[in-house]
Amino acid sequence: MSFADLTRNAVHVHPEGALEQKLALGRPLRVKLGIDPTGPDIHVGFAVVLRRLAAFQRLGHIAVLIVGDYTARIGDPSGRSRERQVLPDDVLDRNAELFAEQAYRILDRERTEVRFNGEWLGKLDYAELVRLTRTGTVAQLLERDDFAQRFRGREPISVSELLYPFAQGYDSVAVQADVEVGGTDQLYNLLMGRDVMANYGLEPQAVITYELLVGTDGVEKMSKSQGNYVGIDEPPEEQFGKVMSIPDAALDQWWRLCLDAEPPRLESMKSKLALARGIVDLYNGSEAAGRAEAHFTRVVREGQAPEDVAEAGLPPDDPVHLPAVLADCFGLSTSEARRLIAQGAVKVDGEVVDELEVHRARLVGALVQAGKRRFVRFTS
């Protein structure tokens, strides 16, 4: 563990030499990371930063995880082309809980402090808000690219969004952060934190941003709202498959950011398999990684049914109306099920079915497949 481990995959370390200075203080540093509990899942992209935070912990420092239960009610405008939808309170609270739990898969519980920013933002009165917002000017706020674009494009920017960076900066004051880390998209907010701290007479935090991981689509940054993520808490088979679905062009970055490793000099297919194995291993262990790969080989590459197929019963009718049954088993609408049949995606014991009514005798005990990844065995 070393300095290099703290700044691996970092894009900005600001200001120059600040991190070294903080480390030289010789006491455990308070390293802050904020999250908006907009969804319960931590994905491997967010884990890039979390794992750096864990590196700080290994050197004896304290991770201060700020759950933005209050700021989530504002909505972080970072990288946004429009206003965020605000979630109801109970959903946010629940997400926050699940989120913290998942974070401990990466962080050391003993060296982690979890704080909800409602603790102090909820008490912020108007006078205090005025003082806080005197930290910056409207021109400064509109300087940031996402706002500038929306402003130019005559898109709405709500005042509450404008307030967001101040609220985040106030978090740093409240927890006395020495360092704040985040994705590169957080640079503006993190730097504002420095100004806010100065405004409150505190030594400004050092700021580190880490490279953002692209999502499984290989284009957009990985995010919950895009649905292009691999969750650290997902089933191994799911994780493995999702990693295999990333475009080859994203391979190098995934190796570097997800596994802190140099991409191996292998053909892309082998490299991707190794990556998938590595990621599943990291979060679920080597045994699960082996299972997930076997599952992938069997189901995807060889087109066979998985080892353990879910079982289901049939309705008493004979013949059986297949669309309704498939819809029921796989959570589809009957129209979708019909389309799958029409497209030749439905097989009974390996044979394509093209009729909607099928005799019970043919289905009982049979393995039914709808598309490549949906299987069911009918027991009766």
Partner RNA sequence: GCAGGGGUUCCCGAGUGGCCAAAGGGGGCGGGCUGUAAACCCGCUGGCUCAGCCUUCGGAGGUUCGAAUCCUCCCCCCUGCACCA
**Can you give the binding site for RNA, defined by CB under 7 A?**
154-158, 217-218, 227-228, 237-238, 240-242, 244-249, 268-269, 272, 296, 299-301, 317, 321, 323-324, 327, 333-336, 338-340, 343-345, 356-357, 371-374
Residue 245 CB coordination number (10 Å) = 15
Report whether 31 contacts 178 (CB < 8 A).
yes
Which of residues 210 and 240 has its CB atom nearest to RNA in the complex?
Answer: 240
What's CA 22's distance to the chain center, in Å? Answer: 29
Which of residues 191 and 299 has its CB atom nearest to RNA in the complex?
Answer: 299
Which of residues 321 and 360 has its CB atom nearest to RNA in the complex?
Answer: 321
Which of residues 176 and 226 has its CB atom nearest to RNA in the complex?
Answer: 226
Report whether 205 contacts 189 (CB < 8 A).
no
| Shortest distance (Å) from residue 326 CB to RNA | 10
Residue 73 CB coordination number (10 Å) = 17
| Shortest distance (Å) from residue 111 CB to RNA | 35
The DSSP H or E segment spanning 121 is: helix 118-121
Report whether 39 contacts 95 (CB < 8 A).
yes
| Shortest distance (Å) from residue 316 CB to RNA | 10
Cα angle value 148/80/42 (rounded, 5°): 145
Which of residues 21 and 268 has its CB atom nearest to RNA in the complex?
Answer: 268
Express the helix, strand and coil content of the chain in percent, nearest 5 each.
50, 15, 40
| Shortest distance (Å) from residue 339 CB to RNA | 4
| Shortest distance (Å) from residue 317 CB to RNA | 5
| Shortest distance (Å) from residue 200 CB to RNA | 30
Which of residues 265 and 301 has its CB atom nearest to RNA in the complex?
Answer: 301
SS3 170: helix
Going by their DSSP bridges, the two strands 320-321 and 357-358 should be labelled as antiparallel
C-alpha count within 13 angstroms, C-beta hemisphere, residue 20: 4
| Shortest distance (Å) from residue 109 CB to RNA | 31
Which of residues 56 and 375 has its CB atom nearest to RNA in the complex?
Answer: 375
The DSSP H or E segment spanning 35 is: strand 30-35
